[in-house]
Structure 1
Amino acid sequence: MRALSIAATGMAAQQLNVEVIANNIANINTTGYKRSTAEFTDLLYQVERMQGIPSQAADQMVPEGAQLGLGTRLSAIRLINIQGPLAETGNQLDLAINGSGWFAVQGPNGETVYTRSGSFNIDSTGQIVTGDGYPLEPAMAVPAGTTALEVTQAGEIFATLEGQADPLAIGQLTLANFMNPAGLNALGGNLFQATEASGAAVSGLPGSISFGRIQQGYLENSNVDPVREITELISAQRAYEMNSKVIQAADDMAGVVSKGIR
């Protein structure tokens, strides 16, 4: 009975949907996290009667025909790349992007990867690095004796040195944009990698056209909406239950047939 396999695809789809929602909820407090949503498409159709062919009674065309769908499957898990709320921290190395763009950092294998999490630190050599120790690109070195750092909205970094009144310019932040941010490959640890689907990174200065501004002393929170996620979780649970009812009904119908044969 085809209803069994069709409903089984629906249950598998809703189980995966719940897993995506669970990941969103788990990352509700992850800095710079972008929520994901599962998208599905229907499977192949089995033709019971072809439309547009002559009917048996006359030469008139069959207007509709009959096609039976065979279920659903996952088509994509889409990254919803919209701005998360900014939270003030007061830390001079906490940087949030207000608008579009990604920070470029040097990954664990020397490759360039990208992040929206601007929680930076200074390592033992004075380099500005992420919480996992990955250097910011282009590399920025904070001079010894620095008492304060100032980062402008345009990404210019100034260091105030002990005993000096005028701040010293030590670097310029750049941001990266992508034609299709949803095509980035998630590596974990708030890091993403460019792919053919995302397109090559386009670098630019903060505050210029198509690039957001830098907000020093702020971090971008996750864009997960708890109310929306709970609503979608309940909806997925109900859909899963409905598909299970279809399997139960199909099994009962098959049982009636088998009992009648005996």
Structure 2
Amino acid sequence: MKKFYFTLIFLTLLLTACTEETGTNNIETQDIQGIVTSTIETADKYDVSEFEEFELQEVIDGDTIRIKYNGSSEKVRFLLVDTPETNHETLGEQPFGPEAKAFTMELLAGQDTVYLEFDVSYRDKYKRLLAYIYTKDGISVQEQLLKNGLARVAYIYNPNTKHVNWFNSIQKTAQKSATGIWSVENYVTKRGYDKDTYYAVTKENNDAPSTTTDDNSCAIKGNINSKGNKIYHMPGQRDYENAIAEEMFCTEVEAEAAGFIPAKQ
């Protein structure tokens, strides 16, 4: 249960990246920037000197971008990964789709070019380019999407299978930690994503009775620190007495639904 709600809070922060242009929530925009900054700082960097560099024109979806290729504007589909949809003709918007797109947008923000590593075949049946995508610093976009639970390994078609073992190992780690799309059991299927299962599970969890004892009833302090981070403190924790309560909550579920994360101590 805690893993589920922690993931929802994390992805709520990711989704706020989409509101950056409107400036409607500066604190949460700073949070998403912090998440991506942390990713950039900790991610493995690969040698891209032998890959091809292209002008980046836009991020279309979590797993699709547009580049300038041989003088033309073309879509590039990320090889071997699949993120939930944001605006599909038949599937519509799927849970974690906007978050995946926001993550890719933030990871590539400020980059006028990207590096593409091609496999054996350059295009799919829809004539889209197929490639492994890297930032100027050598960060694999596919790796980070999988690592953060925002994509699944999919569309494994010969001969384009160069990195399938690498990607599968990253996915297994995300699955074990119930990160992102893996936080809701059976949401990810072999054929894609099951929205009905996702909403059924999340509704069941949201409707579950609170396990908070009467002694702690409505005594959870929601504090916003100097960095703008929303943190809630439980009675008995080290900083509980000194925490200034901007809001009070009866349950941890209420606090997390309001955008607060638990204090570490």
TM-score above 0.5, yes or no: no
TM-score (norm. length: structure 2) = 0.21
Q: More strand by proportion, 1 or 2?
A: 1
Q: More helix by proportion, 1 or 2?
A: 2
Larger Rg: 1
TM-score (norm. length: structure 1) = 0.21
